[in-house]
Structure formats: structure tokens, C-alpha cells
Amino acid sequence: MTNRPTLSVIVPCFNIEHFLAATVTSLAGNARDDFEFIFVEDRSTRDSTYEVLLDMSRRLANSRVIRHEANQGLATARNTGIDVAEGRYLTFLDGDDWFAPGYLPKLVEAIERHDVDFVRTDHVQVTGSERRVHRAPEGRRGEVLDPRSSILPTDDTTMVDYPYAWAGIYHRRLLDRGLLRFHDGLRTAEDRPWIWALHREAQSYSVASLHGVFYRRGIATSLTQIGDVRQLDFIRSFDLVLEELAGDPDAERLRPKAIRNFCVVIAHHLRERQRFEPRVAARLKELSAQALRRIPEHELQAALAGMDDQRKHILRRTRGGMKEALV
């Protein structure tokens, strides 16, 4: 390519040898002369991801493979790709997922139509042979929106509860404003502070009814299925959300949403703690208690209002010292 690419596709890869054929084939079904494909191999430990990737990527025009010297996690892998990407627009694909044929040109057309900072899309969740469409929570489609308008209400699912970086496309000007990179070192929930920053600080976005990205669930090697210490990074992720929100002019109005999200995720992990190694489960309980105690009790009581009794019980018991709310 002699000119700047229209689109850069960033694909982090870690221990996914058996999925690479489907992933690369799907990219080939979306290739254009003005698209580039950047694979970031994050020092796989269990298989030959790097070697297979080198071989398969040779069949894909305008592609390159970058290998980390040591495993650094998904956030840093994405940042490595962002740092070398040259496209006017950027998008992401996890190495074990895939795109439908012709999806990427439609994605580019969607962001060019309105010249917005970013576009979010629906996605298809794949669990075994089951396929299920998950819609982005924003119901206004195909129009220019203020990203802030899609953060609230507090007690409903909104766009900050739909953080998947691969379900969208992002204008390069977001990178120039410091909004596209992830927090280095986060190994899970890396997209939580990222999506909050986008919706607080970007100027425009839209939602497109595209169903061309396929997201695998239930894979044994996926971090979401592994109960090790990396899962605990969600605490740091939400701490970053609250820390960065503190300087926002609408902090008082938006903070209850962030606290409620944090509580819901803490309760989820505590409810599923049997999948963690015993040492990690104990650390999860300790870090969760500390996080809940950092939240003033009146804010925590407000966050618990409307939650089911099981969540309330888990959160109150974990924090300790909370009075039962009167209503």
C-alpha cells in the first residue's frame, strides 16, 4: 500500500492455534487493498500459535505478525497493534473469533456515512453450535448520537455495560485525543475503563445493526473460563473507572452508574467463586471487601436498591458492617 490504509484490524493472539484457520479465513473474506491486518502474538505458552500464525498470515495480503518478548495480556497486546496501525479507522478481533464475509466493508461504510468518532454494532454469541444475536443496548440506530447520552440510566443496561471493543470501529482521531489505548497490564475487564472514557470524552457516535462479528463463549482456554489470579484485574479496572470519573463535570450524576456496575460484577464473581483456585478465591473475597469499603455506605446502599436479594446479601456480607436499608 502506498497510501494510508482505510482500516487497520488488530488481532491479539494467545494460545489459540486451533482457531486460527477460521479467524484468518474470515479476514481473507473481508480483505481489500486498503485494509491492513495486524496480528499481535502474546507469547503463547500451550501451543504453536506463533508458528501457525506465521504460516497462515502469509496467505493474507497486507498482514504482519508482531510477537511480544513476554506475555503481557490483552490490553497491552491491543496497544501494541494500535501503536503500529496506520489506518484512518481501527477495529479489533480476538484471535479465536471471526467475521462474516463482507462485514468489514459494511463497517467502514457505517462510520463514513456519518463521520462520527466511533460506531458500535451488535454481535453474534457462539456457544458450541448455538448462535444468538446480542444487540447493543442503544435503541437509536443509524443516527449521530452524543456518547454521554448513552451512559444512563443507572438501573438499566446501557452502552457502558456493552464494552466489547471488537463490536465496533473507531476513527483515528480518537487515538490523537488519547482515547483509544487501553490501560497497559490489565488482563481482564480491560474494556471497562476504555468504554467509559469513550462515552465520556468522545464527541459523536452511532449504532449500526450489523451482525457480522462472531464471539466464541465457553472455550476452556479462554480467560473467562479460567479461575486464576488474572481474573482479579476487574477490581483495578473498576477502580480506574471511578478514579477517572472523579474529574468529570458530571461525576455526581454518573458515579452511581459506575458504582452499581462495579457491585454487579463483584457479586457475579463472588457467586461463581467455586471456579477459582482456593487461594485466588480467598484473595477475591479480600479484594472485593476492600473495594466495597472504599465506597461510602450511603452510595453503596443506593447501588443495592433494586438488586435481587442474593446479590444484596453477598455484597453486604462481604463488605461487613452495613446496616439493612429501610426500603
What digits encode the pLDDT tens for the residues 104-145?
999 999 999 999 999 999 999 999 999 999 999 999 999 999
Which pLDDT does position 321 carry in this prediction? 81
User: Model confidence at 3, in pLDDT bands (50, 70, 90)?
Assistant: confident
For residue 67, give the C-alpha cell: 510477537
Helices (H), 250-307: 251-271, 278-293, 297-304
Q: Helix, strand, or coil here: 16? A: coil
Distance CA 30, CA 310 (A): 46
DSSP 146: -
Which pLDDT does position 326 carry in this prediction? 41
Distance CA 43, CA 49 (A): 9
Q: Which residues pair with 155 in a beta bridge?
A: none
* Global confidence as pTM: 0.94
Which pLDDT does position 304 carry in this prediction? 96
| DSSP assignment of 34-82 | TEEEEEEE---SSS-HHHHHHHHHTTSTTEEEEE-SS---HHHHHHHHH
Cβ-based neighbours of 65, under 8 Å, separated by 6 or more? 39, 41, 50, 53, 54, 57
| Radius of gyration of the chain, Cα coordinates, nearest whole angstrom | 20
Say if CB 124 and CB 164 are below 8 A apart. no
Taking all residues of the chain, what is their mean pLDDT, rounded to a whole number? 94
| DSSP assignment of 26-38 | HHHTT--TTEEEE
For residue 112, give the C-alpha cell: 463514513
Cis peptide before 153 (omega within 30 of 0): yes
Residue 209 CA: distances (Å) to CA of 74, 120, 138, 150: 27, 9, 11, 16
User: CA 307 from chain center: how many Å?
Assistant: 24
What digits encode the pLDDT tens for the residues 183-220?
999 999 999 999 999 999 999 999 999 999 999 997 65
Which pLDDT does position 228 carry in this prediction? 78
Residue type, 48: S
Say if CB 6 and CB 34 are below 8 A apart. yes
| φ and ψ of 66, to 5 deg | -115, 135
Which pLDDT does position 226 carry in this prediction? 52
Distance CA 32, CA 29 (A): 9
Q: Give the angle subtended at the CA of 190 by the CAs of 164 and 202, to the nearest 5°.
A: 65
User: Model confidence at 327, in pLDDT bands (50, 70, 90)?
Assistant: very low
